């Protein structure tokens, strides 16, 4: 049931104004978690396809004790698959096929995104065909592919996990993952 609800919700987002400017983030209800949820969306280029991501936004502050938690390497362990958010699995859908860091995702089909962070190596964004499930455990057997992410240090601390889709007016864009003092990013483009 959750899988169908997630797919129908994402499809309804795509059925809206397909060529509108970037939409502000929309709050989305969780089916039982404590973190807020959000949907981000952007249109690629003039008249290009819409790309939409829905994810849970955990805080670095522990919801029970209020203590600030160390995110990278502690809350999110190094070298292990992490659900890239909280509660339900993070999903991505595009109206047209995309090249996401070298992996092709089909248009109109939902995928799950998760992260494999690395302290000293290259952090990977995994694209999975397993959708409609709770974010954990991560099922690594359903990976469509994994792509390298660029790591940068942020000037300002970010308390709540934030994903962003930065569109390029010429087409394509960048997916950013920001939390604590770190940003991971990967480029994507409309598949030709």
Q: What is the pLDDT of residues 33-89, one digit of tens each?
A: 668 899 999 998 877 889 999 999 999 988 788 899 999 999 999 999 999 999 889
Q: Can you tell me the distance from the alpha carbon of 60 to that of 50, in angstroms, rounded to the nearest whole number?
A: 30
For residue 127, give Cα distances in angstroms to 20, 145, 146: 26, 6, 6
Residue 119, φ and ψ in degrees, nearest 5: -70, -45
What's the confidence (pLDDT) of residue 78?
A: 97
- Tokens, residue 103: 């992996």
Q: What count of Cα atoms within 13 Å lies in the side-chain half-sphere of residue 96?
A: 18
What is the pLDDT confidence band of residue 169, given thresholds at 50, 70 and 90?
confident
- Tokens, residue 32: 């039982």
Is the CB of residue 161 less than 8 Å from the CB of residue 57?
A: yes
Domain with 44, as residue range(s), is 2-190
Give the β-pairing of 37-43 and 50-56.
antiparallel
Residue 15, φ and ψ in degrees, nearest 5: -75, -10
- How many distinct structural domains can be found in the chain? 1
Greater confidence (144 vs 167) lies with: 144
């Amino acid at each position: 049931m959750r899988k169908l609800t997630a797919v129908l919700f994402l499809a309804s987002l795509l059925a809206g104004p397909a060529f509108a400017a970037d939409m502000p983030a929309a709050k989305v209800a969780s089916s039982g978690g404590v973190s807020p949820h959000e949907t981000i969306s952007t249109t690629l280029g003039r008249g290009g396809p819409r790309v939409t991501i829905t994810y849970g936004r955990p805080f670095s502050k522990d919801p029970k004790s209020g203590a600030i938690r160390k995110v990278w390497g502690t809350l999110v362990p190094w070298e292990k698959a992490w659900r890239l958010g909280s509660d339900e699995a993070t999903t991505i859908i595009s109206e047209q096929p995309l090249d996401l860091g070298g992996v092709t995702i089909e248009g109109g089909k939902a995928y799950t995104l998760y992260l494999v962070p690395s302290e000293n190596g290259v952090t990977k964004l995994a694209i999975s065909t397993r959708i409609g499930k709770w974010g954990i455990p991560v099922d690594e057997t359903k990976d469509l592919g994994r792509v390298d992410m660029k790591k940068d240090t942020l000037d300002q601390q970010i308390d709540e996990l934030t994903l962003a889709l930065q569109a390029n007016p010429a087409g394509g864009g960048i997916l950013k993952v920001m939390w604590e003092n770190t940003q991971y990013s990967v480029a994507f483009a409309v598949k030709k």
